Each structure stands twice: as structure tokens, then as C-alpha cells.
Amino acid sequence: MKYHKFLAVLLTLVFLIVFFSCSYLLLKDYIKAKENDVAIENLIEETIEIDEETQSTSIDWNNLKSINQDIVGWIQIEDTKINYPILKDNNLFYLKHSYDKKYNSSGSIFTTNTNPFEDSETIIYGHNMKNGSMFSLLGKYLNEDFLYAHQHFKIYTSNGNYEATVFSAYSIAFETENSNIKQLDINERIKYYQKASKCKVSNVEISNKIIKLSTCSYINAKHTPTEQRYYIIASIIPIE
């Protein structure tokens, strides 16, 4: 009888330890995510100015570069939470660090391209966060209404600004995607992206430069962490 009581108490203690440990980790991540959101909001106020008459956007690149030389761009999708600096990353550092190089599970929006926005294809990565931040809304692009409502967005860089026009959106395992496009040149890739799209987007004049937004997807996921990715492909043209 004493053994059963001891076992019950032990199991209760184990359960409480696991419960409070998980709660602590979740709370820690939540606090870090909130801190990151506040930091981004402050950064937006400090560095982005919108002309009231023309509604044109200007960015203080001197301020951004003084904070972190790795900041190479800014992505802004109107009427969404996506309004973030883009970091250049060589070793996935910004997978778990914010734009100011502080550890944060939300990470940053980043690219591993050697010459981002100068290469024929620039890939931009971001986490799919449960709180709706970073690239969590990319999956909504598989809905045709959302895609057309947010088909155009802006990319800002210190060397020039771009308007992006989405022409493809789909979810697929990243290893399958890498295998599918490995041997394709840029023109063949564009055709592949158009065919792969969940929504058939027409009347988009595709330039010689494209960007590919990527985040985790849980559609048909078979493993944890998920092997699936959302891919949103857009053509970019300079804004004069």
C-alpha cells in the first residue's frame, strides 16, 4: 500500500515538474516574442518615414547600418504584420537571433544569397510563429482572395527599391523542392513555379529577377520538425 502511495506521489511530482518546465519554456518564448515585436515597432518608428502627400516610404539606412551591417533590405506587405528588416546570413545565425544580434527564438527575416536582390533569384526565410509574427501568414497566399489582395508588396534596399508581384504560391517538402529545381536555369524555374502554384495567377509580367519567400508549412507534414515549406514567388522590378 505504501509503495502505491509513494508511486502516486512520485508520478505527481514528475508531472508537475514537466508541466512547470514546459510552462516556463512557453512563457519564456512568449516574452521573447513580445520583446522582439516591441523592438521591431521601435525600429520602424526610428527608421521609416512616410511622406503624407505622396505616401512614399523612405528608410534611414545610416541608422540601420549603425545597428547592424548585416541589414541589407526591408520587406513590407501592406495590411499585414510583415514589416521587417532583412538580414544577410552566412551561417544561419539569424535563425535564432534578432536584427540586433540578440538571441531570440523568433529569429529574423534573412537571406543567404551572396548578392541579394542582384542575383536572378533571392530566397528570403522567416519563421512561421504561432503568435502571427515573422512569416506566419505566408500560408494564406494559398487562398486566392488573400493572394490577389496582397499580390503586390515592397522590398527596400540601400541601393534601390523594388515592387514585388506574387505569381506563385504552394507548399511542398523542401528536399523535394530542392531536387525539383536543382538542374533548372532561371527561366525553367519560373515555369516550374508557375506550374506548382496552388492558385493559377495570370497577367503577371515576370522580370529577370525574382524573390522566393520561405517558411515552415504543416500541410502533409510527416515529421517534427516539419519538412514542409510554403513558397511564395514574386517578380521584382525597380521603383523609380
Q: Is 62 helix (H, G, I), strand (E, B) or coil?
A: helix
- pLDDT, one tens digit per residue, over 62-119 is 999 999 999 999 999 999 999 999 999 999 999 999 999 999 889 999 999 999 999 9
CA distance 131 to 180: 32
Confidence label for 52 from pLDDT (cuts 50, 70 and 90): low
pLDDT digits (tens, 9 = 90+) for 192-217: 999 999 998 988 889 989 999 999 99
Domains and CATH numbers, the chain: 46-238 (2.40.260.10)
Across all residues in the chain, what is the average pLDDT? 86
Q: Which of 166, 161, 159 is nearest to 56 (CA)?
A: 161
pLDDT tens string 140-171: 999 999 999 999 999 999 999 999 999 999 99
| All cell numbers assigned to 216 | 515552415
Residues 6+ apart with CB under 8 A from 92: 112
* Amino acid at position 141, single letter: Y
CA-to-CA dists, residue 34 to 99, 106, 134, angstroms: 14, 10, 12
pLDDT tier at 39, thresholds 50, 70, 90: confident
Bridge partners of 110, per DSSP, are: 87, 125
